[in-house]
Amino acid sequence: MIMPAGRPLLLPANPQFIALSFVLAILLHMLLGLLGWYWVPDVLAIVMVFWTVHQPRRVGLVLAFLLGLALDVHESALLGQNALSYVVLSWLATVAQRRMLWFPLREQALQILPLFVVAAVVEWLTRLVAHGVWPAWSQLPAPLLQAALWPLLGALLLAPQRRAFDRDDIRPL
């Protein structure tokens, strides 16, 4: 793939950093769920989509399914509810991956918004069919907040991959 003009070349992503970002995101998601803050965005979904887009060979459908099952067990939800939502979200991110990398993070947020909306609708429909429960009004702005957080979390997750501006003899890159 040809790189867009003017974009800096990034260093390879460290697998330990990817794993650490997932652990921190799932812990934050679980903490916010224990506090009862269901209106907050799903940080784990944002991190999963980010790494699916930027590292598709390391993060994909299997990891999305496993993370969804872990959330199902933690939330005592219908087994597979979050897993289905995360797999759909990861698949849509894989489909949009090549196009999204051409845009800066702010413009990617507009393209990622429909993905978060579709994933939320899948989760809400699963909950409606299984339990007959409509989504609460407090859950409706979550996809918008997730898209709004995309540039911030994207900049944080890309920070370790950026090259140093001042090269010297000690650092080879």
pLDDT in tens, 21-49: 999 999 998 888 788 776 778 899 999 99
What percent of the chain shows pLDDT beyond 70? 88
Alpha-carbon distance of 111 to 82, in angstroms, equals: 22
pTM for the structure as a whole? 0.87
Residues ≥6 apart with Cβ < 8 Å to 95: none
131: which 2 tokens?
A: 């339990």
Alpha-carbon distance of 150 to 53, in angstroms, equals: 12
